[in-house]
Amino acid sequence: MGMRPCMRCRRRFVGKASHIYPAIMTQPEPWRQKAALCPTCFYEIIEWAKCHLANVNYDAEPENADVEDEFCPVCGSGQQKMTAIFITAYPAGGERLDFFGECCDDHASDVVEVLGYHPLHST
């Protein structure tokens, strides 16, 4: 237990993995790839999500229900057709975290690269 490689950086690590369940609503197929991550990679992704996506708590009062942050986290544009991004994260031994955001279609692949595995386009 705990010596499997991280699915993002490929390094082996000691201890429990944290899990991430991203879904990027690309067309025609949504991109989904759950991953078991080392603490470093998990932290990097959560920090990115906190900066660029809205932290959603589905169990709480929906006081911030209208999250109108419709700007691409990559280029800052809000003019284009947007691709929804959902990230559910389970820190090892911690509470579930949910994030939601949108990016323009052109930058969905950049978001996948931030997450760090299997870029949509290998250009």
Give the interface with Zn ion as residue ranges (CB under 5 A). 6, 8-9, 38, 41, 72, 74-75, 104, 107
In the bound state with Zn ion, the residue whose beta carbon lies nearer, of 6 and 46, is 6
Angle at 102 between CA 48 and CA 10, to 5 degrees: 40
From the CB of 94, what's the least distance to Zn ion, in Å?
17
Nearest approach in angstroms of CB 44 to Zn ion is: 8
| CA 29 distance to own-chain centroid | 17
- Identify which of residues 60 and 121 has a Cβ nearer to Zn ion in the complex: 121
In whole angstroms, the minimum distance from the beta carbon of 103 to Zn ion comes to: 5
Closest to Zn ion by CB, 67 vs 75, is 75
Cβ proximity to Zn ion: between 31 and 62 the closer is 31
**Shortest CB 26 distance to Zn ion, Å:** 13
Backbone dihedral angles phi then psi of residue 108, each to the nearest 5 degrees:
-60, -35
